[in-house]
A and B are shown apart, each in its own frame.
Chain A
């Protein structure tokens, strides 16, 4: 009998897994079903550009079902819950999908309502997020009408998708106001709960230095307890205050709502406890997870999902054949960081190696690591094409391997 593979989520991870597995199995060997609540696949890195009118929503949204190979069934439905003991997914429309292998790829859910006051007066009027399509579009209109004052860029708490995105927003805002000729009338602040600009020391120093060069005030260890849209104030748990005229925040993240309704599947934040190197869930041997939905200790980012997908495809095949899983995912992540004025940085890292300066993909480049360059910016723009035409269809991207390479990275002296 054919294996039944059910994939929850038709985003980056789910789409890529469906397409890769479809190529590994003939339709007689396995049925593959992808479930998602809507049919809009968003190229999420593009959301960063929408507020500055550097990208249009029309270019970054495509139908989900069109990204799936023939022979993959797409079901548009909400997931009610997964019943692990029965190997079944219950959909909100009453349908029950039995599975031999379940892949959780439902990403994260934004939870602005978890922060006191954030969805109260002023939400989406002077307090915005660019982490969803409506938010990015509303912010574009708000920026059009912003002619000076305090703009605060904030993340409420980790984990968030693409932890560099709020920094990129701050850099692009500096560039945007400069080009509009009003930079001297705008006070830019970057307010973070971390103790520096970023989580890893070498990158944090470089990025903190860039913020300073661009005249962006860095406020650290500021854990937002409440947002006051009427008074224009962010208040931390330890009662410090940051005033704003316009707030651009990244709200708290949690897993998809059905994860909480599925006994034994997720942790208290709705993320799926997952083995960091095999990507098998801790819930059941036949349940796997990838991308933003997991709790693995690496960035929630499309590049991570991409590298995980290569390792996970192999493990699903091994699992269904009764073989031992391969512990092959090393936590590889790779991100372009827009720094404004047509330039970008590149970082490449994994569970063990923090982002370091050097060259990528090898010592001869061509892309510089942790250093601003025009070429990195072009790389970021080109990536959108690769996303739709290589990554989602499940093709390998030439020259970029799922395992991180240390070639080209400059080791830093050990801290004393």
Chain B
């Protein structure tokens, strides 16, 4: 667990870089985390996915999987991989300040 300052706020992050307290999230923090992950600018398409993730997490308590994201967010999976290289669900969750989607086992 590490406390670091992002965008002028002291936030706690887990070893993988996810925010520990969803309440500390701000759009500025999102932009910083995106930058660390190689996304130089959050476009409206990025935001659509990130906001869908956040809303879903805040209403249901669980972060959606990539399949649900592709089916429901209005951003197809192919595009999600272009927007968020490697793991879109994981990266969009990190940028959105919510916990890592639990890989259901």
A interface list, Cβ under 8 A from B: 157-159, 163, 194-195, 198-200, 221, 223, 225, 237-238, 252, 267-269, 297-299, 415
Contacts and interface: CB of A to CB of B under 8 A. Distances in A.
B37 to A, nearest CB: 14
19 contacts: A157-B65, A157-B66, A157-B67, A158-B65, A158-B103, A158-B105, A163-B105, A199-B105, A200-B105, A221-B87, A223-B81, A225-B77, A225-B78, A237-B77, A237-B80, A268-B71, A269-B67, A269-B68, A297-B104
Given A199-B103, A297-B104, A223 B15 contact: no
A159 B103 CA distance: 8
Contacts of B71: 268-269
Interface of B: 15, 62, 65-68, 71-72, 77-78, 80-81, 85-87, 102-105
Looking at chain A's contact residues, is the secondary structure mostly helix, strand, loop, or mixed? loop
B105 A299 contact: yes
Nearest to A239: B81
A219 to B, nearest CB: 14
B81 A237 contact: yes
Nearest to B103: A199
A159 B65 CA distance: 9
Contacts of A297: 62, 102, 104-105
Contacts of B87: 195, 221
- Most central of A225, A238, A252, A269 by chain B CB within 10 Å: A238
A223 B81 CA distance: 10
Nearest to B79: A237
A200 B85 CA distance: 23
Contact of A159 (B15, B77, B78, B104): B104
- Most central of B15, B81, B85, B102 by chain A CB within 10 Å: B81
- Most central of B62, B78, B105 by chain A CB within 10 Å: B105
Nearest 4 Cβ contacts at the A-B interface: A199-B105, A237-B81, A159-B104, A199-B103
A200 B103 CA distance: 9
A268 B81 contact: no
A352 to B, nearest CB: 13
A299 B65 CA distance: 15
A252 B68 CA distance: 12
A237 B78 contact: yes
A158 B105 CA distance: 8
- Most central of B15, B67, B68, B86 by chain A CB within 10 Å: B67
A163 B102 CA distance: 14
Nearest to A196: B103
A269 B70 CA distance: 11
A65 B50 CA distance: 48
Contacts of B86: 221, 238
A268 B15 contact: no
Nearest to A282: B60
Nearest to A349: B105
A407 B85 CA distance: 43
Nearest to B78: A237
A223 B66 contact: yes
Contacts of A415: 15
A381 B78 CA distance: 43
